[in-house]
Amino acid sequence: MRVRQEVTETPCCRRNLDSEPFARRWAVFNLAGSLFVISQFYRVSNAVIAPELQSDLSLSAESLGFLSAMFFYSFAVAQIPLALFLDRLGSRLTMSVLSLIGAAGAFIFAFSDTMAWAVVGRALLGLGMAANLMGSMKLFTRWFSAREFATISGILFALGALGNMLAATPLAFLVEAVGWRTAFALIGVLTVICTGVFFVFVRDAPSPVEKTTAGEAGAGDIPRNLKLLLSRREYWLISIGTFIRYGVFVAIQGLWAGPYLIYGIGLSAVETGNFLLVLNVGFLIGSPVSGWLADRVLGSPRIVALLGLAVMSAVMLLLSTGWADMHLWLLGMSFFMLGVFSSFGFMMLAHIKAVMPTVMSGMAITGVNLFTMLGAALYMQIIGRILDTLGAVDQFSAVGFHRVFFVAFVSLAFAFFVYLPTRDRGPEAGPGA
């Protein structure tokens, strides 16, 4: 059995990759990116429809948090065998099969009449979207050179932000026009179409000749590499950082920003979608900027991620004071800054790749992504539990959400200081790692 195979940055390999037709390389990027856009949409779509979900399915705040978290729980569990599936079956087949499972989840979610069926739908959505990030990154190790990896990653996350944006104002308009159930059924159909196009036109590598590897590991190497990974301090510090950073951000972006703006501030669903759109525009802008800073300016994904954690902490502290509630321009600016600097945190994936030996980089990235998804799931539920403990009067009041934002501030400040001692590069990671 082979584990993840990475492109070796030899001069020959570099020439082969660079000589690939520009249009062909970017066609692969765009088709893989389209599935990542859909994944990002599903992740955060509950923010706009939260009131409808609570009303139709009779959900408490904690139940709403659990329902939304199921996407991330199943997504996280799928990361464990995902590396093996990607290595044995390739990104093309793995992403295609799982995306069709995700489409089935969208249909079940759309027509669910109980919380149990809605949970099943969200769980299948999470499973179905589980390969669209890591599978895309594996494709890019074959289609792009290692020196482009951070920049390509940043562009991918920027493209994914389009999914976040579509889950804001456009989804709010669609839900007002046809209802949330029909909206999700239509998006399920779109998922099937995009998956079919991806499967037909994408290949796992430019050609068999160019599938150069940094080394092939047998099944016996998997436990050894896993043990080595778990013994690395950097792995745990980066994992804790991404657990908190993404957990806080997506819990707000993907669910609780909706009730905060609708119930706490008193905005309409479309106005709420507009603020979420501002948040996601910030994320869209910040994603390529973070890759550019890491590759061209600072030369360090670690420093970029630290900057993101610091500014996110400051934004959460501001929101916890309630000042932004009284000035919508300040609230909009806070959401924009939160989006920009949260995107910087995705440089933690480039960071873990830099500090681990090349042969382990796939396992390391997948391991960090596992903590990323678990953070999202747990923080959605943690916030729901906090809101439920406030009682009926303060549950969805601005005061209740101020407490949530203060908890988020403390969490992010803790993540900053945990992440601070990490190194920029591991001792075994050479220049091409």
Asked whether the beta carbons of 335 and 281 are under 8 A apart, the reply is no
In the numeric block, which tokens belong to residue 95?
A: 């992403």
- pLDDT score, position 428: 54
Find the mean pLDDT for residues 140-146.
79
What proportion of the chain, given as a percentage, has pLDDT over 70?
88
Q: Which residue has the higher pLDDT, 118 or 294?
A: 118
pLDDT exceeds 50 at position 41: yes
Q: Which residue has the higher pLDDT, 378 or 361?
A: 378
Find the mean pLDDT for residues 12-18.
50
pLDDT exceeds 80 at position 430: no
- pLDDT score, position 141: 80
- pLDDT score, position 391: 64
- pLDDT score, position 364: 85
Helix (H) or strand (E) holding 415: helix 398-419
Largest CA distance in the chain: 67
- pLDDT score, position 206: 83
What proportion of the chain, given as a percentage, has pLDDT over 90?
58
Please report which confidence band the pLDDT of residue 112 belongs to, taking 50, 70 and 90 as the band edges.
very high
Q: Which residue has the higher pLDDT, 256 or 428?
A: 256
- pLDDT score, position 398: 87
- pLDDT score, position 392: 53
Q: Is the dihedral of CA 285, 246, 373, 69 positive or negative?
A: negative
pLDDT exceeds 70 at position 75: yes
> Whole-model pTM?
0.83
Q: What pLDDT, in 10s, does the model give residues 196-217?
A: 999 999 998 887 544 444 444 4
Q: Which residue has the higher pLDDT, 369 or 405?
A: 405
Asked whether the beta carbons of 305 and 157 are under 8 A apart, the reply is no
- pLDDT score, position 327: 92
Find the mean pLDDT for residues 248-254.
94
Asked whether the beta carbons of 1 and 88 are under 8 A apart, the reply is yes
In order of their start, the domains of the chain are 11-207+228-419 (1.20.1250.20)
pLDDT exceeds 80 at position 396: no
What is the distance between the alpha carbons of residues 428 and 109, in angstroms, rounded to a whole number? 46
In the numeric block, which tokens belong to residue 382?
A: 């943690």
Please report which confidence band the pLDDT of residue 12 belongs to, taking 50, 70 and 90 as the band edges.
very low
Residue 372: which of 247, 253, 252, 249 has the closest Cα?
247
Residue 41: which of 159, 143, 142, 144 has the closest Cα?
159
| Residue 205, SS3 per DSSP | coil
Q: What pLDDT, in 10s, does the model give residues 411-420?
A: 999 999 999 9
- pLDDT score, position 5: 41
pLDDT exceeds 90 at position 410: yes
For the ranges 123-127, 131-135, 160-164, 250-254, the maximum mean pLDDT occurs at 123-127
In the numeric block, which tokens belong to residue 60?
A: 């408490």
